[in-house]
Amino acid sequence: MKKMMGVGALNLALNELMADDPKVICVGEDIGDMGGTWTYFRGLKATYGTNRVMQTPISESGYTGVSVGLAYGGYRPVVEYMFADFATLASDGIVNVAAKARYNSAGALSLPITFVFPQGVGQAGCQHSQTVEGWFANIPGLKLVAPTTPADLRYFLKAAVLDDDPVCFFFSRPCAMSIQEEVDEDDKSVPSLTNAAKIVKEGTDLTVIAWHSSLLKSIKVVEEVEKETGKSIEIIDPRVLCPFDKEKVFESVRKTGKVVIANEECERGSFSSHISAWIAENCLKDLKMPVKRVGSYNTCIPFGQVEQFALPQEEDIKAAIMSLL
Q: Could you give the angle at which helices 213-229 and 314-324 cross, rounded to 10 degrees?
A: 50
Neighbouring residues of 282: CB distance < 8 A, sequence distance ≥ 6? 246, 250
Whether residue 89 contacts residue 60, with contact meaning beta carbons closer than 8 Å, is answered with yes
Which residue of the set 128, 143, 173, 239 is catalytic? 128
Residue type, 169: F
Number of other CB atoms surrounding residue 51 within 10 Å: 8
How would DSSP label each residue in 51-69?
Answer: TTEEE--S-HHHHHHHHHH
Distance CA 172, CA 176 (A): 6
Q: Is 115 helix (H, G, I), strand (E, B) or coil?
A: strand
Which residues, 6+ apart, have CB-to-CB distance to 211 below 8 Å?
A: 146, 147, 148, 237, 238, 239, 263
Cα gap 258→91, rounded to integer Å: 37
Which contiguous run of DSSP H or E holds residue 135?
Answer: helix 133-136
Note if 128 is an active site residue. yes
Residue length, the chain? 325
Contacts of 310 (CB under 8 A, 6+ apart): 296, 297, 299, 300, 301, 302
**List of residues 6+ apart from 228 with CB closer than 8 A:** none
Alpha-carbon distance values, 92 to 68, 112, 132, 218 (Å): 11, 17, 16, 35
Tell which residue, 155, 314, 163, has the closest CA to residue 243.
Answer: 163
| Among 118, 102, 119, residue whose Cα is nearest residue 110 | 102
Residues belonging to the active site: 128
